[in-house]
Amino acid sequence: MRDTDPSTNERDFLLAALKDGARIDGRKFYDFRTLRLTFGAEYGAVEVQLGNTRVLAKVSCEVIRPYTDKPTEGFLMFNTELSPMASAAFEVGRQTDEEVLVSRLIEKAMRRSRALDTEGLCIVAGEKVWSIRVDIHFLDHDGNLVDAACIAAITALLHFRRPDVTVVGEDVTIHTLEQRNPVPLSIHHIPICTTFAFFNNG
């Protein structure tokens, strides 16, 4: 189901208000909405609230074999789900344009910019590496999904702790959370997204 466009009255009011320098929720042009972060009980679970937009991010990890041509690099995968819970415009299973763009943007911001050190995820070169998976769920769509999702993803990665590993020769022991304190991921820098819009041709 396609999202209904705002009515002509609403659009005209919005544009006229912008000409006078006012936004419909009373903010200035360069003001962000209130940002609230709620951390879950487990490591790596965070919920971001940007005004009414809510995004949930959860990080999980597992040990797998690396690619043969990149034996020392771990995996970092992002999975975004735009469920109909967030907005009536989204459908289960069908990838809308917006979802593709949001998901690609998060991947580019996090992966291409090397925010997370993938070489640090290596346990035994060529055999065992960590695969980090970030699941991003959109709960409520009230605009600016990209910024909220980015903040959620990077906060979840910063919050996450992976189990500690000891390598003795060929023997790999993955310690449980009871045996040893879990280890944080090595994040080089924190990418933050900002979205701008131009109205009335500038």
Partner 1 sequence: MSRAELLSPEGLRIDGRRPAELRKITSTTCVLSQADGSAYLEHGNTKVLAAVYGPREARHRALVLHDRAILNVELNVAPFSTGERRRRSKNDKRLLEMASFVKQTFEPVVIATLYPRSQIDIYLQVIQHDGGTLQACINATTMALIDAGIAMTDYVCACTAGWVEREAAIDLNYIEESSDTSEVTIAMLPKSSKITLTQMESRLHVDKLEEVFRLAGEGCKQMYEVMDKTIRDRAEDLARKMAV
- The residue within the footprint of partner 1, chosen from 88, 101, 190, 192 (CB under 8 A), is 101
Give the span between the Cα atoms of 39 and 59, in whole angstroms.
12
Nearer to partner 1, 43 or 78 (CB): 78
Nearer to partner 1, 97 or 170 (CB): 97
- Three-class SS string for 55-96? EEEEEEEEEECCCCCCCCCCEEEEEEEECCCCCCCCCCCCCC
Give the span between the Cα atoms of 50 and 120, in whole angstroms.
32
95 contacts 121 by C-beta, under 8 angstroms = no
For position 108 contacting partner 1 by CB under 8 A, the verdict is: yes
Which span sits near partner 1 by CB under 8 A: 43-51, 104-112, 129-137, 160-168? 104-112
Give the chain's radius of gyration (CA, Å): 20
For the CB of residue 1, give the shortest distance to partner 1 in the complex, in Å: 9
Q: Which of residues 114-143 bind partner 1 (CB under 8 A)?
A: 114
Give the span between the Cα atoms of 54 and 70, in whole angstroms.
36
For the CB of residue 176, give the shortest distance to partner 1 in the complex, in Å: 35
Place of tokens 């289960």: 92
For the CB of residue 131, give the shortest distance to partner 1 in the complex, in Å: 18
DSSP-assigned letter for residue 141: -
Write each residue from 22 to 51 as x if it is in contact with partner 1 (CB under 8 A), else as -, in one continuous string: ------------------------------
Nearer to partner 1, 95 or 179 (CB): 95
Query: What are the residues binding partner 1 (CB under 8 A)?
Result: 2, 95, 97, 100-101, 103-104, 107-108, 112-114
